């Protein structure tokens, strides 16, 4: 990995114009990594902006993401970069299709640097840094930023890196929490990061409306006959009733039931567009299950989007999941 990091750092120092982006439906790892890398490039006087979908940013307001550093409006992005030559830094995206940009913007890039930690990454970039031994793409970005800034990582960047790692390790509760992860976080804490505050922001706060939606979702909870699969769903009517579409963490309620191996959340985004979130505890490789529905991810956390009616998707996915338990 070190050799590839040096290759990328040489490019970051040599080139001047960069567009940084994460994946569709960005999470804390994607957002934190994109923010950290963008701010680091600006720190060394490069022209750099990130695109972060405004619909995903609410839980991470403490990172102080603003329009001066980041695009949150795709129309503004398209208008500003038209005719420019830029390098696209795609983070945390297993496939080209997962990049949270219109194809025309991806296609217009001088070239793509793909930085990721998913096992099923398709190596779609002209340059690919993919290390699935890392808990989060933020862990990889930490090493890039550390060298780029000669270990002088300011708090506004350290907080972004810690957010990325804390998110993808489930607040250090997941089995991907390695000794390297703890060493990285120890360094970031030494630079001023308050881990308690970040954990509180990500995992310890829930709006009233989100709690109402959680209650509605729990009323749909079901368990397979062998007790190894639990699932629940959120449909459009429930989101309307609760006045929110915030479903972060709901899938974990199914996974965390005693003796359950696979937890599944079905979220109805449109009448026949269902987001499927998959989590497992010990042995079920849910990325393989997701792949059966043209999705992907990690062995313990994966997902897919299926264009079919909710009831049919639930039936098909639960039936397919039975092979893995």
Residues forming CATH 3.10.310.30 domain(s) in the chain: 208-324
**2-203 CATH fold:** inorganic pyrophosphatase (n-terminal core) (3.90.1640)
pLDDT at 177: 97
The predicted pLDDT at position 69 comes to 85
Considering only CA atoms, which of 168, 224, 223 is closest in space to residue 198?
168
Does residue 221 contact residue 254 with C-beta atoms inside 8 Å?
A: yes
* pLDDT tens track, the chain, 325 positions: 889 999 999 999 999 999 999 999 899 999 999 999 999 999 999 999 999 988 888 889 999 998 878 998 888 899 999 999 999 999 999 999 999 999 999 999 999 999 999 999 999 999 999 999 999 999 999 999 999 999 999 999 999 999 999 999 999 999 999 999 999 999 999 999 999 999 999 999 899 999 999 999 999 999 999 999 999 999 999 999 999 999 999 999 999 999 999 999 999 999 999 999 999 999 999 999 999 999 999 999 999 999 999 999 999 999 999 999 9
CA distance 263 to 244: 22
**Length of the chain (residues):** 325
pLDDT at 68: 79
- CA–CA distance, 117 with 121 (Å, rounded to integer): 8
pLDDT at 73: 87
Note the pLDDT of residue 17: 97
- Grouping H, G, I as helix, E, B as strand and the rest as coil, residue 43 is helix
Q: Which residue from 297, 296, 270, 300 is spatially nearest to 283, judged by alpha carbons?
A: 300
What span, in angstroms and rounded, lies between the C-alpha atoms of 212 and 241? 9
Q: What is the pLDDT of residue 33?
A: 98
The residues of the chain that CATH labels 3.90.1640.10 are: 2-203
pLDDT value at position 129? Answer: 98
Query: Dihedral of CA 97/103/59/194: which sign?
Result: positive
Other C-beta atoms lying within 10 Å of the C-beta of residue 192: 12
**pTM reported for the whole predicted model:** 0.92
* Spatial CA neighbour of 149 closest among 43, 36, 15, 33: 43
Query: In this structure, what are the phi and psi dihedrals at residue 87, rounded to the nearest 5 degrees?
Result: -100, 130
Burial level of 323, CB count in 10 A (0-12/13-18/19+)? exposed
| 208-324 carries CATH number 3.40.50.11540 | no
Rounded to whole angstroms, the Cα distance separating 159 from 192 reads 8
Per-residue model confidence (pLDDT) at position 312: 98
Q: Using alpha carbons, select from 88, 97, 84, 141 the residue that is nearest to residue 116.
A: 141
């Amino acid at each position: 990995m070190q050799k590839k990091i040096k290759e990328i750092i040489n490019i970051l120092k040599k080139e001047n114009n960069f567009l940084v982006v994460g994946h569709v439906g960005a999470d804390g790892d994607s957002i934190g990594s994109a923010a950290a890398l963008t701010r680091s490039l600006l720190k060394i006087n490069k022209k750099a902006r990130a695109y972060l979908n405004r619909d995903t940013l609410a839980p991470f307001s403490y990172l102080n993401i603003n329009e001066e550093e980041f695009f949150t409006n795709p129309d503004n992005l398209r208008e500003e970069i038209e005719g420019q030559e830029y390098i696209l830094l795609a983070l945390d995206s297993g496939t080209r299709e997962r990049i949270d940009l219109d194809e025309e913007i991806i296609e217009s890039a001088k070239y793509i640097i793909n930085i990721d930690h998913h096992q099923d990454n398709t190596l779609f970039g002209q340059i690919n840094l993919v290390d699935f031994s890392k808990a989060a793409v933020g862990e990889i970005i930490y090493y890039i930023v550390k060298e780029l800034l000669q270990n002088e990582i300011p708090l506004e960047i350290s907080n972004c890196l810690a957010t990325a790692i804390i998110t993808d390790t489930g607040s250090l509760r997941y089995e991907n929490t390695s000794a390297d992860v703890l060493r990285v976080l120890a360094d970031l804490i030494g630079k001023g990061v308050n881990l308690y505050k970040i954990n509180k922001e990500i995992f310890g706060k829930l709006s009233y409306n989100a709690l109402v939606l959680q209650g509605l979702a729990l009323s749909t909870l079901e368990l397979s006959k062998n007790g190894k699969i639990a699932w629940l769903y959120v449909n459009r009517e429930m989101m309307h009733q609760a006045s929110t579409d915030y479903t972060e963490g709901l899938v974990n309620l199914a996974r965390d039931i005693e003796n359950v191996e696979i937890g599944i959340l079905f979220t109805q985004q449109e009448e026949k567009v269902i987001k499927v979130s998959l989590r497992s505890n010990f042995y079920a490789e849910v990325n393989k299950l997701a792949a059966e529905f043209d999705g992907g991810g990690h062995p313990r956390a994966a997902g897919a989007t299926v264009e079919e009616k909710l009831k049919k998707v639930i039936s098909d996915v639960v039936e397919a999941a039975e092979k893995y338990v």
